[in-house]
Homo-oligomer: A and B are copies of this chain.
Amino acid sequence: MILGKIEELVDRARHHDTRAIAQLISLVEDGAQELRQVLRLLAPNTGHAHIVGITGAPGVGKSTTTSALISEYRKRGLRVAVLAVDPSSPFSGGAVLGDRIRMQEHALDANVFIRSMASRGQLGGLSAAAPQGIRILDAAGFDVVIVETVGVGQSEVEIAGHADTTVVLLAPGMGDGIQAAKAGLLEIGDLYVINKADRDGAKTTARELRHSLAMSHPSDGRDREIILTSADRGEGIAEIVKAVDAHLDWLKDSGDLGRRRARRITMEIEHLAIAALRQKMILQAHDIDGLTLEVAEGRMDTYQAADNLLEIFGRMKP
């Protein structure tokens, strides 16, 4: 893509052109060369959106809740983007697209943008891709960017690190307090939602969760709110938005917003620097092969080999 084209694309995205925004997100997925240019152009426009992470085990109703949250934000006249990321898969899977269908009620609303994102060609995987996708949506003038994780495991926790406010979803019977503790969810939630609250056991789940949260000690000393919802009936959704807003106010008042964002940026810089170095290593295959042989034949240990490799980099132009 030639330079003028990128500038035009970025400009259209800044002026809320949905197709241009989608094209920029695709550049992120592909780890395209043009991305550097895009992010440089967008840098002055970032830092305005409230980034809300939504995470939880499969089946707790993340998509239904997200869809209901979009409606609630739209009622308030806010522009909303949803980025659904699947850290466990390099491909955008069928299940993800299936879930997206539930959000189709918003498909014709120009102030809503919904997109699944994989990380096909991205150096550093989704850890590098997610913040770049978020940054594009932020610069495209969305008031709220919801980052929804798909999939399970440790990576949910990682993705939650990209948000200002992290909402952890549980459902009765699936996500009791102990399960949440095991999954590391007690450390990452700024607020907790027990969805499907019309089902048996919702109050027990809430009680167990409250107990588990009381035992954990969040570093910011703030009490974690627990909200009961039935997202498919739209019940409790306004309460989530209220709590998310209250958390943003608290972040601003306490100065934590700046600190959280700075921490995220630092991580991203380090991530990109390491990815670039890894790339350089691949290019230095000849040197590595020589060092590997030294180690394989017992003339050198791996630490010494690593030192030598870094010395070779030190002599290269950055």
- For A271, give the chain B residue with the smallest CB separation: B306
- For A42, give the chain B residue with the smallest CB separation: B301
Instruction: Report whether B258 and A302 are in contact in the complex, using a CB–CB cutoff of 8 Å.
Output: no
Q: Counting CB contacts under 8 A, is A289 at the interface?
A: yes
Instruction: Report whether B310 and A273 are in contact in the complex, using a CB–CB cutoff of 8 Å.
Output: yes
Min distance, Cβ A102 to any Cβ of chain B, angstroms: 24
Docked CA distance A304–B314 (Å): 19
Instruction: Report whether B40 and A304 are in contact in the complex, using a CB–CB cutoff of 8 Å.
Output: yes
Q: Counting CB contacts under 8 A, is A262 at the interface?
A: yes
Q: Is the interface of A mostly helix, strand, loop or mixed?
A: helix
The stretch that binds B, out of A12-20, A158-166, A290-298, is A290-298
Instruction: Report whether A310 and B43 are in contact in the complex, using a CB–CB cutoff of 8 Å.
Output: no
Given A153-B153, A276-B310, A281-B273, are A300 and B47 neighbors across the interface (CB < 8 Å)? no
Given A265-B295, A314-B314, are A43 and B300 neighbors across the interface (CB < 8 Å)? yes
Q: Counting CB contacts under 8 A, is A39 at the interface?
A: yes
Q: How many copies of this kind of chain does the complex include?
A: 2
Contact of A268 among B44, B258, B302, B317 (CB under 8 A): B302
Instruction: Report whether B40 and A276 are in contact in the complex, using a CB–CB cutoff of 8 Å.
Output: no
Given A302-B131, A318-B311, are A266 and B292 neighbors across the interface (CB < 8 Å)? yes
Instruction: Report whether B269 and A299 are in contact in the complex, using a CB–CB cutoff of 8 Å.
Output: no
Cβ contacts A244-283/B at 8 Å (1 or 0 each): 0000000000000010011001101110111011100100
Contact of A262 among B266, B270, B292, B303 (CB under 8 A): B292
Contact of A39 among B44, B274, B303 (CB under 8 A): B303
Q: Counting CB contacts under 8 A, is A309 at the interface?
A: yes
Docked CA distance A154–B87 (Å): 12
List the interface of chain A (C-beta within 8 A of B).
Answer: 35-36, 39-40, 42-47, 88, 131-132, 153-154, 258, 261-262, 265-266, 268-270, 272-274, 276-278, 281, 288-289, 291-293, 295-307, 309-311, 313-314, 316-318
Sorted nearest first, the 4 A-B pairs with minimum C-beta distance are A272-B306, A39-B301, A273-B306, A314-B318
Q: Give 29 pairs: A residue, B residue, CB < 8 Å, sorted on A.
A: A39-B302, A39-B303, A40-B301, A40-B303, A43-B298, A45-B298, A47-B296, A88-B154, A131-B302, A265-B295, A265-B296, A265-B302, A266-B288, A266-B289, A269-B295, A269-B305, A269-B309, A270-B278, A270-B281, A270-B306, A270-B309, A272-B306, A274-B274, A274-B278, A276-B306, A277-B277, A277-B310, A307-B318, A313-B318
